[in-house]
Structure 1
């Protein structure tokens, strides 16, 4: 932004004969027609001027929280929406398939778990108990057979192989009894708590995965976070978006302010709650009242239009009047640095330097008279007069070489 420093005085009770700052002169004989200004009391103020951008305090850019193709956009620029209204939707077909797949897995695992923990049939326990009893009988027979085989082997009535067969049969019956007794105990106890915990953990994991997908499904419907006007849509239907992609901008057009970046070297005299004047020749805005609402505590670097890096401080200006300003407009803002009121002032284009002093031409009885003056505060448009003039004096505006002491003067407005 191009920076300007403007010093302007607003004149109170001034009878000004300035017409759009136009100076012209008509000379007929020794009479010069020119513009006159009547000296009066007024005010001098010093301002710093910068260009700012109109923004909304509730302006929000809405980003996609999911990945996919834009299925539909329910709003257009200029539409008013209420908080929570759907504004766009991302295609959910792929996500629905994943959710159905998880539903099937959860259902299958729950069925298996239910089957595993159901009570054991009493008939099965009875059968298992009968097998254990039968094996015990066979085990006792095997023990007796081994004792007989040992005596017969020692008396050399049977072979060693026959004796070894009796030993092996006993071992088989002992192992069989252990297995059947374990199976009987398992049937009586049911599934262990460890097995139950494993099933329950697997089911919980699948349910959690499903909840994540269902949450993602909610994110596929993009809703307005605040009430306001749709100011911009960044995408069209059919566009593919990633998480974090800009989708829509929404703002409250009734809650506008102006963001201005002021040179750090000039921001020191600007105060919060101080006045600001908003204007724009391009927009036909002559003067709007504003108020300095916030001065940021930190400066930042910014490259000017001339390519010069500058330190600037951001200022927020509240608009205190009803206005037709729109978001994104650029307007000029003037911040008052100081002012002095109820002082004698003249336009700055009436004062000139002569012999290292300040002078004006006044008109007395229609004759130009050179008058030495002492000046004080200087503004862009007006200068404070400390001595040499009094209220009601008429001074010549923009005097040139045709104006000299003793020349007869005629007011161009007469």
Structure 2
């Protein structure tokens, strides 16, 4: 009996060991059961709820460019205006007189310029010849006093003196007359300078003739000779200076100076006309009058606003969003706007502008959304609730439960030939239980939607019946 029990135990142990060896040698790979869904095309929509401030497309506060009494204002609060339309007028009597004064000054400067152009060179050459003649006379006088005078020379000297005296007296009268006319504004600076120069030349000639006569009569003394020699040297120096001016064409500088004066007067005339035009204030933009600050009769100036104009054909919705919502904002095609019971309407988005910087206090980014406002329902200053609406058609979609996240990356298991392959993806819109695939998957592929925790890349899977498709 005992021996039979031992034999039975040995048989059981032997059978167990043999079966274990057989199992480890013949063991097959286990297929993990999973649920799957196809990658397919469809439509998806997502929205972002925010609050916003309504602002105009543009806003301008209009101030006059010149000061004066407001003579006319042609707009009222709420009026529509077009760019270039006359808004207001300032009394322009003084500015009109300023234009006339500038016109007269320009005319005089232009006349002076033309006169200088016509006479400057001739006048210079005439003066040069006069100095050359004066030098010859001084040299002749010097020769005479050195040689002594004859009777006929004394007579000639006396005649020359009388002629010089008459000439000097005539030049004195001309100078007095020119001075009177100049003080009355009847002649130009150029004309007065010419009269004064001719008088000085006549006086020099008279002095020279008188000295010549005296010397001729008395005979030369040593000091007289030195005086005449000094006159000769002085005249020679003057002639040398004029000859250098001739070589440099100094009269051209005089012409350029007169031309510059005419140009300056022309600029002053232009500025006077601009100030006159500035008495009429025009709208710089098209829009509506949002404020009117003054009435007719008020004294206004460049620091006093007249009216404000806003362009509300297009308005801006100013809001702030988190950085993770920026991509969604960029894709917004429409915006739903709600202002209590006053307004609840969807608008097409015209333009979206996004600040490149984040507000350091709110840690949000400023966004400007432009929409058309044809019925002027949107008013600057409103504070509506808005929903940014994004919709895409015929885009790749998968169930949201297929997406896994690891180290900030989005991944899915793709089933191919009964095995799973880990694929990195990027997603777009999300709505309910669907997500949009931007990259990483193709239409028709199959992704695991249940059973992912027990999977690793390359595992063999079995799809539970009734799940695919």
| Normalised TM-score (structure 1) | 0.51
- For residues 282 and 102 of structure 1, the distance between their equivalents in structure 2, rounded to whole angstroms, comes to 63
Structure exhibiting the larger radius of gyration computed from Cα positions: 2
By relative contact order (CA 8 Å, sep 6+), the higher-ranking structure is 2
Aligned to 1:260: 318
Do 2:53 and 2:317's aligned partners in 1 also have CA atoms closer than 8 Å? yes
1:226 counterpart = 2:279: no
Do 1:46 and 1:337's aligned partners in 2 also have CA atoms closer than 8 Å? yes
Unmatched runs of 5 consecutive residues or more in structure 1: 1-43, 150-160, 304-308, 340-375, 379-414
Do 2:335 and 2:347's aligned partners in 1 also have CA atoms closer than 8 Å? yes
Going from structure 1 to structure 2, the CA distance change for 1:332 and 1:166 (only over 3 Å counts) comes to closer
Going from structure 1 to structure 2, the CA distance change for 1:301 and 1:213 (only over 3 Å counts) comes to farther
Going from structure 1 to structure 2, the CA distance change for 1:134 and 1:225 (only over 3 Å counts) comes to closer
- Higher mean C-alpha displacement, 216-225 vs 102-111: 102-111
| Normalised TM-score (structure 2) | 0.46
- For residues 387 and 363 of structure 2, the distance between their equivalents in structure 1, rounded to whole angstroms, comes to 19
Unmatched runs of 5 consecutive residues or more in structure 2: 1-43, 150-218, 393-430, 434-469
Q: 1:331 aligns with which of 384, 387, 407?
A: 384
Q: 1:171 aligns with which of 229, 234, 249?
A: 229
CA deviation profile, 1:143-200 (whole Å, cap 9, x unmatched): 1441459xxxxxxxxxxx95315513642663686599799999x9998111111121
Aligned to 2:367: 314
- For residues 374 and 354 of structure 2, the distance between their equivalents in structure 1, rounded to whole angstroms, comes to 23
Alignment length, in residue pairs?
278
More helix by share: 2
Secondary structure of the residue aligned to 2:261 is helix
- For residues 316 and 266 of structure 1, the distance between their equivalents in structure 2, rounded to whole angstroms, comes to 18
More strand by share: 1
Do 1:116 and 1:191's aligned partners in 2 also have CA atoms closer than 8 Å? no
Q: 2:307 aligns with which of 248, 257, 264?
A: 248
Aligned-pair distance for 1:108?
4.1
Going from structure 1 to structure 2, the CA distance change for 1:259 and 1:112 (only over 3 Å counts) comes to same
CA deviation profile, 1:15-60 (whole Å, cap 9, x unmatched): xxxxxxxxxxxxxxxxxxxxxxxxxxxxx98754333344443x33
Aligned to 2:197: none
Aligned to 2:337: 278
- For residues 109 and 377 of structure 1, the distance between their equivalents in structure 2, rounded to whole angstroms, comes to 84
Do 2:64 and 2:306's aligned partners in 1 also have CA atoms closer than 8 Å? no
- For residues 208 and 98 of structure 1, the distance between their equivalents in structure 2, rounded to whole angstroms, comes to 13
- For residues 130 and 199 of structure 1, the distance between their equivalents in structure 2, rounded to whole angstroms, comes to 25
In the TM superposition, what are the counterparts of 1:27-106 in structure 2 within 5 Å?
Answer: 47-57=47-57, 59-64=58-63, 66-69=65-68, 70-106=70-106
In the TM superposition, what are the counterparts of 1:12-23 in structure 2 within 5 Å?
Answer: none
Going from structure 1 to structure 2, the CA distance change for 1:178 and 1:204 (only over 3 Å counts) comes to same
Alpha-carbon RMSD: 4.9
CA deviation profile, 1:325-344 (whole Å, cap 9, x unmatched): 444433221234799xxxxx
Do 1:68 and 1:91's aligned partners in 2 also have CA atoms closer than 8 Å? no
- For residues 314 and 55 of structure 1, the distance between their equivalents in structure 2, rounded to whole angstroms, comes to 12
- For residues 213 and 204 of structure 1, the distance between their equivalents in structure 2, rounded to whole angstroms, comes to 14
- Higher mean C-alpha displacement, 198-207 vs 162-171: 162-171
